[in-house]
């Protein structure tokens, strides 16, 4: 019979791993560097193959944050679109259909499109305010993509190592040559 506390310990361990992943990702986003995630991944990889679940948890947390940032990008764009339309009668879609265009286009391009509008300065202020928020969110999104790629690389590396270490034996005691698994 299993110890009844095993399930509780497993739950506590899972919650602890999730908290560690969350903390590493938040530090990563605050500092603007992958270093906290890299340190956590390094610790997990060094602890062995049983840490694959923890790496998957880290990847899931990063994907969750990434989805949230995508939602935030859309909300900022829609809020700006609603504000420009209701306050100034400007359809943002005529200026920028894609929210990321607000980040990448030079400011002068918007100014030229708004020259004839009586409240061009107020409109530009609204666009520039949203642009800063979009730039911040985009930078966070790129950082999370890099973190996800980093964790995925280590997961694939650990899977490859596991496959090499657990090569099957063939009938007669022969084994699969390692040159076939690369």
CA distance 46 to 40: 10
Q: What does the pLDDT look like over 78-121, one tens digit per residue?
A: 999 899 899 988 888 777 767 667 777 776 777 777 777 788 88
Flag whether 169 is in a domain: no
d(CA 71, CA 57) in angstroms, rounded, equals 21
CA distance 113 to 98: 16
Domain of residue 113, residue span: 7-162
Is 38 within a domain?
Answer: yes
12 inside domain: yes
Number of domains present in the structure of the chain: 1
pTM summary value: 0.75
Asked if 24 contacts 36 with a C-beta cutoff of 8 angstroms, the reply is: yes
Between CA 22 and CA 43, with CA 48 as vertex, the angle to 5 degrees is 40
174 located within any domain? no
The answer to whether residue 167 sits within a structural domain is no
Whether pLDDT at 170 is above 80: no
Q: Which residue would you say has higher pLDDT here, 166 or 75?
A: 75
Asked whether residue 20 is assigned to any structural domain, the reply reads yes
On whether residue 176 sits in a domain, the answer given is no
Report yes or no: 110 and 80 within 8 Å, Cβ to Cβ: no
At 8-39, the pLDDT tens digits run 767 777 788 889 889 999 999 999 999 999 99
Q: Per the domain annotation, does 170 fall within a domain?
A: no
Contact indicator for 41, 154 with CB cutoff of 8 Å = yes
């Amino acid at each position: 019979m299993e110890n009844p506390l095993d399930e509780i310990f497993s739950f506590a361990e899972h919650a602890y791993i999730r908290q560690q992943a969350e903390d590493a990702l938040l530090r990563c986003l605050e500092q603007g560097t992958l270093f906290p995630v890299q340190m956590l991944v390094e610790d997990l990889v060094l602890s062995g193959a049983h840490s694959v679940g923890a790496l998957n948890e880290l990847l899931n947390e990063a994907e969750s944050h990434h989805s949230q940032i995508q939602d935030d990008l859309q909300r900022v764009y829609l809020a700006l679109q609603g504000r420009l339309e209701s306050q100034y009668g400007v359809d943002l879609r005529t200026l920028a259909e894609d929210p990321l265009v607000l980040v990448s286009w030079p400011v002068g391009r918007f100014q030229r499109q708004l020259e004839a509008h009586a409240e061009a300065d107020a409109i530009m202020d609204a666009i520039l305010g949203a642009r800063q928020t979009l730039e911040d969110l985009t930078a966070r999104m790129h950082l999370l993509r890099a973190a996800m790629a980093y964790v995925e690389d280590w997961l694939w590396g650990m899977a490859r190592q596991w496959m090499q270490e657990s090569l099957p034996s063939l009938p007669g005691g022969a084994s699969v040559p390692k040159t076939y698994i690369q």
